[in-house]
Amino acid sequence: MYSDHAPIVIDQFNGLWRNGEEDSCPPDHQPEIENFKFVGSNAIQTRDGLGIGQNISGPIGRIIRVYNFVTQDENTYLILREGGYIYHVINNGITVLGPILSIPAMTDFGFIPFAGRAYITPFTSFGVGEDRLEKGLDNEFLYVYLGTGLAARKAAGSPPTAGAITVANDGAQLSDSGDHLFGVLYETDTGFLTAPARFVLFNSNGTGFDFSVIPVSPDSFVVARRLVMTKKITNYNGDVTGYQYFFIPDGRIPNNTATVLNNITVFDADLLEDASHLIDNYAEIPAGVGLTLYHQRLCLYTTFDDISLVLVSSQGEPEAISQIDGLLIVPLDGNPVTNGFELRDVLYINKKNRTVSYVDNGDVPSSWPLTVIDQGLGCPVHGIATVVDSGSANVDYIKIATYGGIHLFNGKYIDPELSWKINDLWEEQDVTEFRRIQFVDNTVDKILYCVLPDGRLLTGNYFNGLDSRKIRWTIYRFLIRVSTVALINTKTVVIGSDGRAF
């Protein structure tokens, strides 16, 4: 038998196609494909199998969230398991520390690494169906973990509350005569400085100072105390917090035991480093949904009481957040802030259907100008592609899993979306479960990994190009549903499951 049918030569396979009717699928794609990977520009093979991530006798199960935690000397990861327990896994899964934090109501957490430390904020979901939203736990806080196995503790810290500092002239050294206010504050092992307290008014006779009965903190993480004072007060009005305080240049006690510091010479002209702003800082930072960094400032968003609020720290001081001017209020629309990231010197903040931006103008965060970027597209709480250990840009783009698909973002959302070829697959997902999405970017092998709400792992290979036509999609399905994904050591994929079976 002979036929004049001309065969169709497919010299390159380009993956999954789920956009439109089945007969609209191009011949170099397939509408249903699972469990294979692309190799180089033109080859395919069966996906890799799973190895053991925890090489211990009793591995952690029912995993909800995994993050890569880069310490000072190695890649490790943090694991949240059901019940609200967070563990620290190091040494290639051989050593498991913790739980380092246990909060029964915590069903998820936000995380950011900073200077070898982990900052953790516990949150959960409230409501059901389309009214479901994520926000920080009520009466919970931002935590800091030093990476040593000791339990995480509340970030920031309370000012001295006990004792009353005593000031006397030493009769030998020199100073400016007249009334001055003096106080003391604590310095923690993360470098945080509490608000000054235990103020006392003292009239100097023009000689130096001796200090005694300096408060000692009951907290083991306090490593030093620092003394502060005002310049000469002409007419004291009794308002101890209404004056400007400065650090005394030689007024640091480098321990948490000594209660005396003598022979301090300080003139008003020596008082240069302001300490007054510390009075307005949070002693306990409320828990939020997520964390990001902008200009070396920690940004925490969506507290239990303020779903449109972003708290912004001082530069280089992630625990120093002013309750007065460290606040950004995202336009109120009844929806919570879900995510945030920095790109090209701009801070972008997402809600599920909105994206806005702020630019550091050199002044306090509350003065930063707001720009509305998009009033239709935003993303869920884990929808920013993580590069190794933080939400980050690859060259000039952020990859974002929005409610309308996976997009490239370079200051605006680029159309068509990266997931254009699989638009129907994306629309099949349950939008009320988009909190389950987690998105990471292997920039070495040029592969995106996205946990889908239905428990499968969507992968996008952009070896041949990063646009809607050249990216090649496929699905990984396992015997159990995927709940979380992370990257360690640049490109090693860590997959976790909460135990739900297909």
Nearest residue to 80 via CA among 459, 440, 484:
484
Q: What is the pLDDT of residue 94?
A: 85
Facing residues of 289 across strands?
none
Tell me what the mean pLDDT of segment 202-217 comes to: 94
Can you point out the beta strands (E) in 403-496?
405-409, 438-442, 447-451, 457-461, 472-476, 484-488, 492-496
Q: Which residues pair with 154 in a beta bridge?
A: 143
**Residue 397: per-residue pLDDT:** 85
Q: Is the pLDDT of residue 178 over 70?
A: yes
* pLDDT value of residue 298: 98
Instruction: Calculate what percentage of the chain has a pLDDT beyond 70.
Output: 96
Mean pLDDT over 108-125 rounds to 96
Section 31-55 average pLDDT? 86
Task: Give the C-alpha separation, 357 to 345, whole Å.
Answer: 11
Is 70 exceeded by the pLDDT of residue 221?
yes
- Distance between CA atoms of 331 and 346, rounded to whole angstroms? 18
- Supply the pTM of this predicted model: 0.94
pLDDT computed for residue 92 by the predictor: 74
Select the more confidently predicted residue: 172 or 296: 296
Select the more confidently predicted residue: 286 or 12. 286
Per-residue pLDDT tens for 324-359? 999 999 999 999 999 999 999 999 999 999 999 999
344-399 tens-digit pLDDT: 999 999 999 999 999 999 999 999 999 999 999 999 999 999 875 555 544 578 99
Beta bridge partners of 384: 400
Query: Does the structure show a pLDDT above 60 at 62?
Result: yes
Mean pLDDT of the chain: 92
297-312 confidence digits (pLDDT tens): 999 999 999 999 999 9
| C-alpha–C-alpha distance, residues 322 and 337, integer Å | 20
Supply the pLDDT for residue 164.
Answer: 80
pLDDT, mean of residues 61-84: 92
User: 197 near 228, Cβ under 8 Å?
Assistant: no
The rounded distance, in Å, linking the Cα atoms of 283 and 249 is 24
Closest CA to 398 of 451, 440, 338: 440
Lowest mean pLDDT among 70-84, 102-116, 236-250: 70-84
What local confidence, expressed as pLDDT, does residue 393 receive?
47
Helices then strands, counting H and E runs in the chain, come out as 1, 37
Interval 133-157: pLDDT, tens: 999 999 999 999 999 999 999 999 9
pLDDT tens column, 190-201? 999 999 999 999
Residue 274 has pLDDT above 90, yes or no: yes
- pLDDT band for 485, please (50, 70, 90 cuts): very high
> Can you read off the two tokens belonging to residue 471?
């990216």
Q: Which helix (H) or strand (E) holds 96?
A: strand 95-102
The string over 251-270, giving b where at least 16 C-beta atoms fall within 10 Å of a residue's C-beta and e elsewhere, is: bebeebeeeebeebbbeeee
pLDDT recorded at residue 389: 52
